[in-house]
Amino acid sequence: DAGITQSPRYKITETGRQVTLMCHQTWSHSYMFWYRQDLGHGLRLIYYSAAADITDKGEVPDGYVVSRSKTENFPLTLESATRSQTSVYFCASSDGTGVFSPLHFGNGTRLTVT
């Protein structure tokens, strides 16, 4: 049961560089999400996707780009990384079969922008 996996687990990059965080799920869930977790802010939604080729912005989308060409993958790209994007990033998925389908989270990617 692979579930939902994120890679890499840790990443250090420099300001201005492009970096992509990967997310892969094996459940064929329709919905996928990206959250960032910062001390004092809890979890905030960056982007989400209801199906392949359908994405929408969350609370804090600026500086991020997503794509969903395949149901199982939902990469998050920081086009030009800034120090304020230093955070722990969590990918999540949901089957969406019910109005209140629970989210299943990956174990996160800790990103440091120097």
Which residues here bind another protein, judged by CB under 8 A? 31, 33, 40-45, 48, 50, 58-59, 90, 92, 94, 96, 99-108
**Closest to another protein by CB, 16 or 96:** 96
The reply to whether omega before 8 is within 30° of 0 (cis) is yes
Q: Starting at the earlier edge strand, list the strands of the sheet with 19-25.
A: 4-7, 19-25, 76-78, 64-66
**Closest to another protein by CB, 14 or 54:** 54
- The b/e string for 32-58 (b: 16+ C-beta within 10 A; e otherwise) is bbbbbeeeeeebebbbbbeebeebeeb
**Closest to another protein by CB, 52 or 103:** 103
DSSP 8-state symbol, 84: G
Cβ 14 to another protein shortest distance, Å: 25
Cβ 5 to another protein shortest distance, Å: 11
Residue type present at position 14: E
